[in-house]
Amino acid sequence: MAGRNFLFVPGPTNVPDRILRAMMVPMEDHRSSIFPELARACLNGLKPVFKTTTGTPILFPSSGTGCWEAALSNCLSPGDKVLTAVFGQFSHLWADMARRLGFDVEVLETPWGESAPVERYLAALSADPHHKIKAVLICQNETATGVTSDVHALRQATDSVKHPALLFVDSVSALGSIDFRMDEWGVDVCVSGSQKGLMLPAGLGVTCVSQKALEAAKSASSRRCYFDYKDMVVANGTGYFPYTPSLPMLYGLRESLTMLAEEGLENVFHRHHYLAGGVRAAIQGGWKLKLCALNPKSYSDTVSAIMMPEGIHGAEVIARAFTRYNLALGAGLSKVAGKLFRIGHLGDLNELMLLGAISGAEMAMLDTGVKVEPGSGAAAAQNYWRSNPARIVPAEAATAERKAPRPGVAA
Ligand code: PLP
């Protein structure tokens, strides 16, 4: 099909040309004397993204799922109790993994579309005076439903009852797009991946571990080998990896971190919030459809899950968008399969790219029998963005962007 494929699933996201170029490198010796420069640029460059000075970023050759497993198997012993809330497919999968790895999982079942129930976590922690719960898990941004939860509030709840459990956060579809604060929120393990806000292909598990988590790992007796934090931390300390790293991914990550720093992380969050506002205007104001997310306070700035009217199967809209308009939309997963489709709005994108996705989704819906007004979504998004003065790029960021070296252009 002529023209570009419009990739609007909530990860993998569009990889900017600048990153693609940075990744096109010949292979080199990952044990050379100059390799540590690249490794350190990546590992140190991740600290501001996690908002940490005391945590240790770690890169596994995996996806986010590998970092879920690493968090559990490094910090816990078989049979340890973990507390989590399930309110979408990804929070479900992490809880399921914990069960399969032999932990005692207490699940706070929560309707899909709601956010993590902090008051129920608090009740469970209060009812645990002997501190049997060793880790509390939360999914910051539930990609299946487009719901963001309040990690800081969970930390405050844990502290309010002086519970020593470790706090593990899945920030796979939030890190680098929605604010995350490792140190300030007292997060012990943050789990993420390369293919979302970091604008890279899938292939790197990107995680960050607190001193407390590393301390816990010393006595935790779960079996682990490939995902052992200790092997990584020891090798990374010398500027190397315990096994062969993917060079293109590291070069890509270094470029991604440079791009995020140039735009300014706060500006990146701001852009996501502003762009998400336009998408929501299209869905609710233009198409008069409902989001899966129930509470406006927890609307996700990286993904919107759009409920389909009775009698319409979301998969048909997605199939039509793909085959007729070359637009990839996200599917409804598990419990909400067929009931919704998702638009990912994270990573490297702007208003006009999103207008393509909105218009494509609108045409696919019209073709499959959804009664939306032609042009209504795009018009609502345009009106939102044009009347919203929020997208002001501070002068320093704009200057940095202009000064950034462009391949093939003399400085
Ligand atoms: N957690 C969340 C919130 C996700 O969105 C995803 C994937 O989309 C995962 C975990 C799993 O990550 P991965 O597919 O990188 O293993």
156 lines ligand 1 (CB under 6 A): no
Phi-psi region of 162 (alpha: psi -120 to 50; beta: other; left: phi over 0): left
Give the 3-state secondary structure percentages of the chain, helix then strand then coil, rounded to 5. 45, 15, 40
Rounded mean pLDDT, 43-51:
98
Residue 400 has pLDDT above 80, yes or no: no
139 lines ligand 1 (CB under 6 A): yes
Q: Is 152 exposed, middle or buried (0-12, 13-18, 19+ CB in 10 A)?
A: middle
146 lines ligand 1 (CB under 6 A): no
Q: Mean pLDDT in the chain?
A: 95
67 lines ligand 1 (CB under 6 A): no
> Quick one: which atom of ligand 1 is closest to the CA of 139?
3
Confidence category of residue 1, pLDDT binned at 50, 70, 90: confident
Place of tokens 């012993």: 77
DSSP code for 304:
E
Cα 332 to middle of ligand 1, angstroms: 14
Torsions phi, psi of 67, nearest 5?
Answer: -75, -30
Give me the pLDDT at residue 13, please. Answer: 98
330 lines ligand 1 (CB under 6 A): no
> Quick one: which atom of ligand 1 is closest to the CA of 140?
3
Give me the pLDDT at residue 406, please. Answer: 46
Residue 407 has pLDDT above 50, yes or no: no
| Ligand 1 binding pocket mutation candidate from 8, 59, 62, 65 (most atoms within 8 A of CB) | 65
| Ligand 1 binding pocket mutation candidate from 69, 89, 90, 249 (most atoms within 8 A of CB) | 90
pLDDT tens for each residue of 328-378: 999 999 999 999 999 999 999 999 999 999 999 999 999 999 999 999 999
Cα 286 to middle of ligand 1, angstroms: 30
Task: Tell me which of 279-293, 295-309, 324-338, 385-399 is least confident.
Answer: 385-399
Cα 62 to middle of ligand 1, angstroms: 11
Nearest to 138 by CA among 174, 101, 176, 102: 174
